[in-house]
Amino acid sequence: MEKQQAEKHIKELRERLEEYGHHYYVLDKPLVSDAEYDALMQELLKLEEEHPEFFSEDSPTVRVGGEPLPYFEKVEHRIPMLSLGNAFSDTDLRDFDRRVKQLVGGDVSYSCELKIDGLAVSLTYENGRFVRGATRGDGTVGEDITANLKTIPTIPLRLSEPVTIEVRGEAYMPKGSFEALNQVKEQAGEEKFANPRNAAAGSLRQLNPKLAAKRNLSIFVYAIGHIEGKEIDSHLKGLAYLHELGFRVNNESKHCSDIDEVIAYTEEWVEKRASLPYDIDGIVIKVDRLDQQKEMGFTAKSPRWATAFKFPAEEVVTKLIDIELSIGRTGVVTPTAILSPVTVAGTTVKRASLHNEDLIREKDLKLGDSVVIKKAGDIIPEVVNVLAELRDGSERDFKMPTHCPACESELVRLEGEVALRCINPQCPAQIREGLIHFVSRNAMNIDGLGEKVISQLFEHDLVRDVADIYKLKRDELLQLERMGEKSVDNLLEAIEKTKDNSLERLLFGLGIRFVGAKAAKTLAMEFDTIYKLKDASEEELVAVNEIGEKMAASIHRYFSTQKVVELIEELDSLGVNLVYKGPKAPEESDMTDSPFAGKTVVLTGKLEQMTRGEAKEKIESLGGKVTGSVSKKTDLVIAGEEAGSKRTKAEELNIEIWDEAKLVEVVSERR
């Protein structure tokens, strides 16, 4: 075939395969047989192999997967992918409705959608072509999994219009695909996936796109994150437009005129959920009008205009085989029920929390008992009660040990506490848990150093305290399982980067009893360096706002320990920052002429010259307090572009209102 003919035929094959694929996977209306489709795909693959100069990123052949990736790049979401608040009952839904109406100041209608149980992803298209796909990650930064997402046939590689758009969706594994995959794993002697959600996440978060292509994943797109050049005024109209573009949108979505219709919809799907060919774990309820959504805005974690109704916890009966004990980083002994495996809400459950010894006594648990378990909110398994009437005499009493199972030190119960505790500071279980806490997101946030890697380092005697993390050598790490050169280099780079963290992260990471992230920030701001904090008396600590006597005593006791003093000196010698780097708490003398001193401020509307977070930080550094809603206690409202109901309410209450230009002017004067 001549080059010109080959190019023409390749184009024709691609167009036919795109049309057939869309009808088969998205519309569920196949136009040709599977055999005919496969024959055309093989023909296209052969032609593209013979003529690589005609390769295209949006060819249907990319669905078979490419070469393995070395690692996933990080992707910052243009608009954060926030989580949703939860509702568990009709009362919760009516409370949500009441809050919505208070914020909007009138009636609203809702869109209701099935909450697909999968992996949330973001898909970006430029001029109608799929250019990037990412996981939700922490909501702000995710992982680039474009190559894996391209293997999902229900994700269009090219849209019906040349639009630039970012959409959100839920990638999932249909029940049939999940069962087939686990059959293959079982035959190969491999561990099976616990549920379709884990299978979908595991398929998309591995580095070989060819494996992802074999997993038969699918997707439902549920929202527009950003779009250029088109105005859409309601959520459901947005879904209809996404369908026109070629996306697969769930057809069970419904418009509800009031909360009673919403509740009826949730009740309907509590009964029908098991009949679906995919898993759902609730219903998502959103205010339908986008102008009302914009007016309501967001909290730090979730939109005010949406909530997720979670299905009632499913309860099942199983056997209590044993009770296992674990030691936390503070030495608390936590019992865990070991159960005969049972499926609850689509997940195989083998363990459940028992919290403490008193709960075991209260429920009269015996080894061998038949017990009722449930997953609260479809997440945490717990033992509800014992079916004592099913006992046959073979059951055995459980006795809590007198000594730590990890280090054999005597366990104690401190005054006023229900938990048993190991108070040996050299207990290996506590050390390991402390290391896991130190590297966690809210502490030092060392990327790539999770629980599994910490456990591996601990088992190979490479880390015994947090300072050892900063002494890790490349050659040592390369000897460990699943540690290639690239991953080791990335890990060492991530560790080095955290040496510059501000003091509050280190303080929280050290795991001082009673000191959470907020208290760590307060202490860092007050004392500025860890050495000043170490030398502070209990009286000086108690004098700090929000630091009580119990916390002060714990901090003083911690820094009075010689090993802690040596640890701090070692961290200092390794180049770990021990100084607070954030905004300073304002001195009272500096605040005498500050326009924000002692005032409650509300930010509303769109700011152009700074982010909300930057504005909040500047106002608080000048003695102000920033809150989320306007009330009689509000002293000042700063209104950006398109400010809505908050500005209106401020005008009604005769509250002073500034525009962004005034804010920038005042802040600039105070530098």
Is 175 within 8 Å of 240 (Cβ atoms)?
A: no
Is 123 within 8 Å of 130 (Cβ atoms)?
A: yes
**Cα distance between residue 576 and residue 361, in whole Å:** 47
**Cα distance between residue 116 and residue 197, in whole Å:** 9
Give the number of other Cβ atoms within 10 Å of residue 426's Cβ: 10
**Cα distance between residue 505 and residue 503, in whole Å:** 5
Give the number of other Cβ atoms within 10 Å of residue 608's Cβ: 10
**Cα distance between residue 92 and residue 307, in whole Å:** 10
Q: What share of the chain is helix, strand, coil (3-state, %, to 5)?
A: 40, 20, 40
Is 44 within 8 Å of 14 (Cβ atoms)?
A: yes
Q: What is the DSSP letter of 377?
A: T
Length of the chain: 671
- Partners of 283 in the β-ladder: 114, 309
- Partners of 325 in the β-ladder: 335
Is 608 within 8 Å of 656 (Cβ atoms)?
A: no
In sequence order, which ranges of 340-473 are alpha helices (DSSP H)? 357-362, 428-438, 451-459, 466-469
Both tokens of 99, joined, read 């809050």
> Strand ranges (DSSP E) for 187-310?
218-227, 254-256, 280-287, 306-310
Both tokens of 478, joined, read 């390369």
Both tokens of 596, joined, read 């924000």
Is 60 within 8 Å of 41 (Cβ atoms)?
A: yes
**Cα distance between residue 117 and residue 415, in whole Å:** 44
**Cα distance between residue 463 and residue 454, in whole Å:** 8
Compute CA 595 distance to the chain's CA centroid, rounded to the nearest angstrom. 38
Please give the C-alpha separations between residue 23 and each of 16, 395, 428, 533, 570, in angstroms, as whole numbers: 11, 58, 58, 66, 64
Terminal Cα-to-Cα distance of the chain (whole angstroms): 72
Is 29 within 8 Å of 169 (Cβ atoms)?
A: no
**Cα distance between residue 208 and residue 145, in whole Å:** 10
Given 11, 74, 115, 254, the catalytic residue = 115
Q: Read out DSSP for 598-623?
A: T-EEEEESB-SSS-HHHHHHHHHHTT
- Partners of 324 in the β-ladder: 336
**Cα distance between residue 21 and residue 155, in whole Å:** 10
- Partners of 170 in the β-ladder: 120, 220
- 11 is a catalytic site residue: no
Give the number of other Cβ atoms within 10 Å of residue 500's Cβ: 10
274-283 in b/e form (b: 16+ CB < 10 A) is eeeebbbbbb
Both tokens of 358, joined, read 């008193």
Positions marked catalytic: 115
